[in-house]
Structure 1
């Protein structure tokens, strides 16, 4: 069974709002600017070029050079940073948390999507330049979401306290994590490389932002990836007018609320606060609350008058951190960005923001669902062939797959739908007779119908159960191979870390990802190595 792909919509792993977005449903079209196809990038380029200033480019390049000062990177990445100074250069951006040792596999898929799309755009628009950007979520403060990674079903965790932005968090204590990881790695050249990568990233850098920059740079610098940290005073200064607007008028809450009626048939991904900003210091990231004209910092004694908080914004813009509602605007203000690449949850909350972007007079980016991948070994693919399973089969929910296979194994039909329909027709006739003779019988007729239908349901279940026992060995093999590919009946990319696949496939995983992932085709890739 060779490498393959299935559509996102048919995979069964995406929400209704994402499926409707991919199907370009009319009701969602007011919530985005342009759909991600190659032709639409021409207009996106023109719009962004007309609205993004040269002065902002200069500040951006200076900030990147400052952030990369202690990082040794490729000539390709250095060239891409220089290109950002030019009016014909644009970015393709993805963002991710500072997960320990990259966290789950989809960290790689996001960045490969951004790099491959940048390459494709360069081929389509050769007179322009396109730079893949990884936005580090250094200002997030939910440490419990990022302080571990899974390796061969073992959770390797960094245990410590953290209350402020994770990018500023000291890497002290990660030697103990490396000791645990090293014991699991085993021996060999690839194991040694992974150990050295972890050691150089986390034991030779003083904070998590620098460690993550080093790690991503080691993995992707050869492809020209540019890594940006938004926790930067000069970049925040570019965004200060929007922070001031939020403090004084709470615009984001009002504008995001305008889209609510268009999303009434979906689960809302993010609900806006009255003020969608945090106050941050090294050990603090707390909400800014407005009460009776005074700005309070939640869970602290800090408070500011309007004059004081605006003076603080002027002198120290780095103390203001956008939350999930405002961070997308911040990204698009400071970057010459054309496209944001994210997972299903990210795209869903971006779809709440179009009205807010319009009010801020900032170009709304093209939204692209990142590539998703199922990685399998040749041995696993051969097992599926022997079990007569397709890739589409293993994406099914396990109970549905088992029941489907039992039906195919059985010598007789296990579905009593025809018998149930026949029974309903007979009782419909009986009910007609009852109403013409004695209407009091109708209740008894209905009760008997329900009893008979329930009896058929029970017989159907017992028959299915009996057939499962008859084919238990083969069904167990089916469940086993699906559990290998979908750990805990969830997506592999959300559980596994790249390191175990680096060992399994002798360092070939990234090459296969670059060769196979086509961001604009909106497909779930299956890669057999």
Structure 2
């Protein structure tokens, strides 16, 4: 395995500036991830503010119960024992609970969290444990119910779990039937080519599904299988036991709701004044909280002194909402803007591992943190990778393709066409162009002479010329099709390179699932990932296998 830094263009200037030009965005974020002094300041602040967070022992008790069910590893128990002690901090990061773990970026985020915790512990001489925040309270089923693999016939194949009803229920509360589990497992088995690891891999998948009633449970069990031995603690944001502990935080969010709304709007206006675009919606009158009513997760707004949803299905005064919170905390959940506040109210967060888009929308939250007496944690970019297998690398060398060539779609297409042109010993385009020019030069004078005999022959001659040109172009097309057919192997190599590295015109890590690599290389593939040195800047790297 060779790992090489190769830039990947970002569409999030705030995330880029966090690392490359912190001075320009320091007013939006609390700490510079590259400044050791800011790490020391953050850990000192955590030590001094233990009473601002949920009581550690109660939190760890809840996490023990959850991890015992889905992530029962001795290393996890050790991490939880450390977390129970004051002075232990966490590196946290999260993602929605996707089918078969979702895209590769989820795996890279887990690796980043673990490696960042190891790095912080070594640098600070303090226990720092990794925590993966499973966003099970999210309700966007279509975002998590599928995964993609590249099939042997170069098709980007999707495996999907549909949902029968139209309710916007949290993913962790949406059950998947045994029949659906069996079906998607069978689809995965059919898509994966034969390998020495396939039987064991599929056995693990089927066992995981047999013990899971929701996507979140299967997601947690898979992450536990792969990363539990590295001490990665799992947390489901929709866990009802955890929700009961969060009541005081929700209470604060409700009673300080107007002030939080003002803080978010002030941040959005500030970003806009700098020429940027806020990366999350800050809605007028938005409570930035969800309420679950009859299975539907409803976003709350403030209207006429009451908390209600857009369609008026529920409506509460502040006192009524607080009362429901005490009796039914499981009905409440955060939105994208209050989730960071909840995270830091639960956990002693030293740093939060985020994708570029997350870093961009966290810029809206600093004032909200301060409103609750909190400070934004250190934001750490997730490590980013593209995997290039040995065969693929040889093919790129064969066709003189660099990473930069494949990255630039226009250059890649030009390289493909140039290669195909070199295979054209007949020089089809030049010959057909020559024939059309010669024919036209000979035919045009004749048409003009025919027009002098009868006007109608001029129009007929022009139409006849166009038909002959059409036939020449038809033959050109058929000839080029034949050329491509003769060179089909090479063109399929180009197609595989493109589909492997940038499927759906997206980076590989945002589309493909890990099971292809586990099937080909075994569980050691994850261990090899863990051996890659930590990059605090999260810059993109290419892994040559």
Q: TM-score, normalised by structure 2?
A: 0.79
Is contact 1:113-1:517 (8 Å) kept? no
Q: Is the 8 A contact 1:357 1:364 kept in 2?
A: yes
Deviation digits for residues 168-205 of structure 1, max 9, x if unmatched?
11121322222222222354442122222221222222
The 1:267/1:116 distance shift into structure 2, 3 A limit, reads: same
- 2:157 matched to which residue of 1? 154
Distance 2:226 2:338 in 1: 29
Partner of 1:503: 519
Give the Cα separation in 1 of the matches to 2:334 and 2:504.
35
Residue 295 (str. 1) matches residue 283 (str. 2) = no
2:380/2:537 contact within 8 Å kept: no
* 3-state SS of 1:389 partner: coil
User: How big is the alpha-carbon RMSD for the aligned residues of Structure 1 and Structure 2?
Assistant: 2.8
Say whether the 8 Å CA contact 1:171–1:203 is kept in structure 2. Answer: no
1:372 paired with 2:380, answer no
Q: Per-residue deviation at 1:383?
A: 2.5
Find out whether 1:11 has 2:21 as its counterpart: no
SS at match of 2:26: helix
Quick one: distance in 2 between partners of 1:101 and 1:139? Answer: 18
Select the residue among 145, 169, 182 that pairs with 1:175: 182
Instruction: Decide which moves more: 129-138 or 262-271.
Output: 262-271
- For 1:228 and 1:492, locate their aligned partners in 2 and report how far apart those are by CA, in whole Å: 27
Evaluate the alpha carbon distance shift between residue 477 and residue 187 of structure 1 in structure 2; reply closer, same or farther with a 3 A threshold: closer
Deviates more, 1:385-394 or 1:73-82: 385-394
Q: Counterparts of 2:537 and 2:287 in 1: how far apart (Å)?
A: 38
Change over 3 Å in CA distance of 1:129–1:183 after alignment to 2: same
Q: 1:244 to 1:506 in 2, by over 3 A?
A: closer
In 1, the alpha carbon distance for the partners of 2:193 and 2:390 equals 23
5 Å-filtered alignment, 1:300-319, equals 301-319=313-331
CA deviation map 1:349-380 (0-9, x unaligned): 11111111111111211111101101011122
**Residue 44 of structure 2 is aligned to residue 46 of structure 1:** yes
Q: Structure 1 residue aligned with 2:271, among 241, 263, 266?
A: 263
Which residue among 20, 30, 33 is the counterpart of 2:30? 33
TM-aligned CA deviation for residue 507 of structure 1: 3.4
| Partner of residue 492, structure 1 | 508
- Give the corresponding residue for 2:345: 333
Q: Deviations over 1:11-40 (max 9, x none)?
A: 224422222222125331111111212613
Matches within 5 A, 1:108-123: 108-123=107-122
* Counterpart contact for 2:99–2:145, Cα < 8 Å: yes
State the shift of 1:294 in Å. Answer: 2.8
Aligned to 1:324, what secondary structure does the other structure show? coil
Tell me if the contact between 1:164 and 1:281 (Cα under 8 Å) persists in the aligned partners.
Answer: no
Superposed counterparts of 1:125-524, under 5 Å = 125-126=124-125, 128-152=126-150, 153-161=156-164, 162-172=167-177, 173-233=180-240, 235-248=242-255, 249-264=257-272, 265-273=275-283, 274-280=286-292, 283-299=295-311, 301-395=313-407, 397-402=408-413, 481-524=497-540
Whether the aligned pair in 1 keeps the contact of 2:19 and 2:537 (CA below 8 Å) is no
Q: Is the 8 A contact 2:195 2:519 kept in 1?
A: no
TM superposition shift of 1:242: 4.2
Rounded to whole Å, the distance in 1 between the matches of 2:503 and 2:71 is 37
Q: Is the 8 A contact 1:18 1:344 kept in 2?
A: yes
1:23 counterpart = 2:33: no
Residues 103, 514 of structure 2: 8 Å contact kept: yes
Contact 2:299 2:310 in 1 (8 A): yes
Q: What per-residue deviation string (whole Å, max 9, x for no partner) do you get for residues 87-135 of structure 1?
A: 1211111100010111101110000001111112222223x11111110
Structure-1 separation of matches of 2:416 and 2:241: 60
Alpha-carbon distance, 1:85 to partner: 1.1
Please report how far the alpha carbon of residue 3 of structure 1 lies from its aligned counterpart in structure 2 after TM superposition: 3.1
Query: Cα distance 1:475–1:268, how it changes in 2: closer, same or farther (>3 A)?
Result: farther
CA contact (8 A) 2:103 2:509 kept: yes
Q: Secondary structure at the match of 1:33?
A: coil
Structure with bigger gyration radius: 2
Q: Supply the distance in 2 between the matched residues of 1:160 and 1:408 (Cα, whole angstroms).
A: 46
2:387 alignment partner, SS class: strand
How far does the alpha carbon of each residue in 1:453-499 deviate from its partner, in whole angstroms, 9 at most, with x for none? xxxxxxxxxxxxxxxx9x99899966653343222332000111000
**CA distance in structure 1 between the aligned counterparts of 2:346 and 2:312, rounded to whole angstroms:** 30
> 2:418 and 2:161 mapped to 1: Cα distance?
47
Q: Structure 2 CA distance, aligned partners of 1:497 and 1:303?
A: 42
Task: Kindly indicate whether the alpha-carbon contact (under 8 Å) linking 1:517 and 1:525 is maintained by their aligned counterparts in 2.
Answer: no
Tell me, what secondary structure is at the counterpart of 1:182? helix
- Is the partner of 2:169 in helix, strand or coil? coil
Kept in 1, the 8 Å contact 2:104–2:512? The answer is yes
SS at match of 1:275: strand
CA distance in 2, matches of 1:25, 1:89: 27
CA distance in 2, matches of 1:394, 1:208: 35
Task: Give SS of 2:148's match.
Answer: strand
1:413 maps to none
List gaps (5 residues or longer) in structure 1: 411-468
Could you tell which deviates more after superposition, 316-325 or 331-340?
316-325
Q: C-alpha distance in 1, partners of 2:393/2:192? A: 25
